[in-house]
Chains A and B, each alone.
Chain A
Amino acid sequence: AQTVTQSQPEMSVQEAETVTLSCTYDTSESNYYLFWYKQPPSRQMILVIRQEAYKQQNATENRFSVNFQKAAKSFSLKISDSQLGDTAMYFCAFSRLEYGNKLVFGAGTILRVKS
């Protein structure tokens, strides 16, 4: 079974600075998808960024980028120029290439952006 580990329960960062959230996973699959979701206090889960394992290039979305190290099974999220609105719980998630592609989530990291 696949597992996703987020080793940082809580992180804080000053506004405008950069922060990196860690995620490791375990799988025997060679092709799969990895995601970072954000959950603000409103509870709405929002997709931040997605990475296909077969792509060597790291995904980027504006201020958000990932460092995908397939051999190390590591998938970290870097947030540049942090904003107060980035305050949320961040979940790393894994999906096999299978019917349904149900998500397996990590425990989450609470990120607080301070002014």
Chain B
Amino acid sequence: GAGVSQSPSNKVTEKGKDVELRCDPISGHTALYWYRQSLGQGLEFLIYFQGNSAPDKSGLPSDRFSAERTGGSVSTLTIQRTQQEDSAVYLCASSAQGFPGTQYFGPGTRLLVL
């Protein structure tokens, strides 16, 4: 079946602009995660959604970052007023259950802020 998909694959934006990154999890997976992969910080957890429960936002680096998950499926990660330090690969993962399900990752969105 189809895996986790993310769009766009690459995004170049100017400092100060807003960007939206999309994640389509594997059908039927109730848990969805966002991670960020950057040269300076490695792989970091950002946010976690499980069904209709309140998300775990403990990894979001600032209030410029937000995410939503509509209808328990597609998720959008929004970065407002982008900064150069936001340049990174943003990875989405889903699992069939929050715990202890194996996380399946998408190919990521590479974001470059000029």
Please report A residues at the B interface, Cβ cutoff 8 Å.
33, 37, 42-47, 50, 52, 91, 95, 97-108
Partner of B108, one of A37, A43, A98, A105: A43
Tell me if B31 counts as interface (CB < 8 A to partner A). Answer: yes
Report the count of interface residues on B (CB-CB < 8 A).
26
Asked if residues A97 and B100 are in contact (CB atoms below 8 Å), the reply is yes
Contacts A44-B107, A104-B45; A97 near B91 (Cβ below 8 A):
no
In angstroms, how far is the closest chain B Cβ from the Cβ of A84?
A: 21
Partner of A99, one of B35, B89, B99: B99
B106 closest partner in A (C-beta): A44
> How far, in whole Å, are A100 and B31 apart by their CA atoms in the complex?
8
Partner of B103, one of A97, A103, A106: A103
Interface secondary structure of B, over-half rule = strand
Question: What residues of B have a CB within 8 angstroms of the CB of A108 in the complex?
Answer: 42-43
Partner of B43, one of A52, A91, A95, A99: A91
> How far, in whole Å, are A107 and B43 apart by their CA atoms in the complex?
7
Partner of B56, one of A46, A100, A105, A107: A100
> How far, in whole Å, are A25 and B33 apart by their CA atoms in the complex?
22
Within 8 A of A (CB), among B69-114: 89, 91, 93, 98-108, 110
Asked if residues B56 and A102 are in contact (CB atoms below 8 Å), the reply is yes
Asked if residues A99 and B50 are in contact (CB atoms below 8 Å), the reply is yes
Contacts A102-B59, A105-B42; A43 near B107 (Cβ below 8 A):
yes
Asked if residues A43 and B93 are in contact (CB atoms below 8 Å), the reply is no
Asked if residues B50 and A100 are in contact (CB atoms below 8 Å), the reply is yes
In angstroms, how far is the closest chain A Cβ from the Cβ of B100?
A: 6
